[in-house]
Structure 1
Amino acid sequence: MEGQNGSTEALDIKTAIQIAKILAAAPDERIPMILDVFQKAEVNIGGLDELAEWRALNKQTALIDTEEFIKGITGGREQVDGEYRIKAAEFNHYCADHNISSRLARKHLYEHGLIRTSTDKGKINYTVPIWEGNHNERYVVIKN
């Protein structure tokens, strides 16, 4: 917690848990009001931007019609070894044209078992490197 003079105080665990419960239970439209109250009480809660983004992404997931999305992104493309390979930049452009977060779309497709992934230092990548000529190109690979 950051005080008025810029000094930093640690919240006790009970207070932190209470704040977390309040934020978790609050409807999205009330979050700004709750945060304003905490700010006036000089309680600086880190990570709220990430929380807001996460909530927005989760709301947007419900808006993706998976079948329609797959049909649109793969339309007119030929399969290679039974899958559709779409360059990451093309995938991102398609998503932007349809007002969908490309990161969300890749994650959504992954959660539905529809794309191949790769790992890098234990982290899941929703794109796959594929050797192209003399370099690797990153692709979103949609399984058929």
Structure 2
Amino acid sequence: MDRENLDLKTAIQIAKIVVTVPEERMPIIWDIFKQAGLDIGGVDEMAEWKALTKQAFLIDTEKFLAGITAGKEPVNGEYRIAVGDFNEYCTKQKLSPRCTRKHLAELEAIRTVKSNGKIDYTCTVYEAEKNASFHRYVCIYSDWKRRIKGGAADD
């Protein structure tokens, strides 16, 4: 069954299933739909959005950013946190690194890049002083307090 042949009644039934199924069982439901030949677009985005929504309530953004940038010096107006270090810090805070990066990007607290039409929450930075090599970072703007909603206006 494909979307072109999906009637309104079936679409409503699918929507009811998606809304009422507990989140932990959703992978099973998506798999059943996929096996039935029904590709529901936006599933990954919806799962990410749900996770982000839950994560956003767990993040004290100002405390998180102050903690991860503590003792670091900004370079060209941003704190460069190695992706592995960022992920480790998130894990210690019991947060999903990807959802946290997305949350910070929505607040415009980190630099993002667009590649292949998708937003990337990490940046490749060329560093001449480190054997002229490229490294992946989460680049947190040094003026993040001004950028986050409800944040302090002074540094």
TM-score by length of 1: 0.71
Return the offset for 1:134.
Answer: 2.4
Return the offset for 1:32.
Answer: 4.3
Return the offset for 1:25.
Answer: 4.1
User: For this pair of structures, how many residues does the alignment match?
Assistant: 131
Provide closer, same or farther for how the CA distance between residues 111 and 16 of structure 1 changes in structure 2, counting only shifts above 3 A. farther
Provide closer, same or farther for how the CA distance between residues 29 and 72 of structure 1 changes in structure 2, counting only shifts above 3 A. same
1:58 lines up with 2:58 in the alignment: no
Provide closer, same or farther for how the CA distance between residues 119 and 53 of structure 1 changes in structure 2, counting only shifts above 3 A. closer
Aligned-residue Cα RMSD (Å) equals: 3.2
1:80 lines up with 2:75 in the alignment: yes
Instruction: Report the Cα distance in structure 2 between the residues aligned to 1:122 and 1:46, rounded to whole angstroms.
Output: 21
Counterpart secondary structure, 1:114 = coil
Q: 2:11 aligns with which of 6, 17, 37?
A: 17
Deviates more, 1:84-93 or 1:129-138: 129-138
Unaligned runs of 5+ residues in structure 1 are 2-9
Instruction: Report the Cα distance in structure 1 between the residues aligned to 2:14 and 2:138, rounded to whole angstroms.
Output: 36
User: Which residue in 1 is equivalent to 2:109?
Assistant: 114
Return the offset for 1:82.
Answer: 2.2
| CA deviations over 1:87-140 (Å, ceiling 9, x no partner) | 111111111111111000110000001011112222211111111232211111
Identity of aligned residues (%): 39
Rg larger for: 1
Unaligned runs of 5+ residues in structure 2 are 144-155
TM-score by length of 2: 0.67
1:142 lines up with 2:140 in the alignment: yes
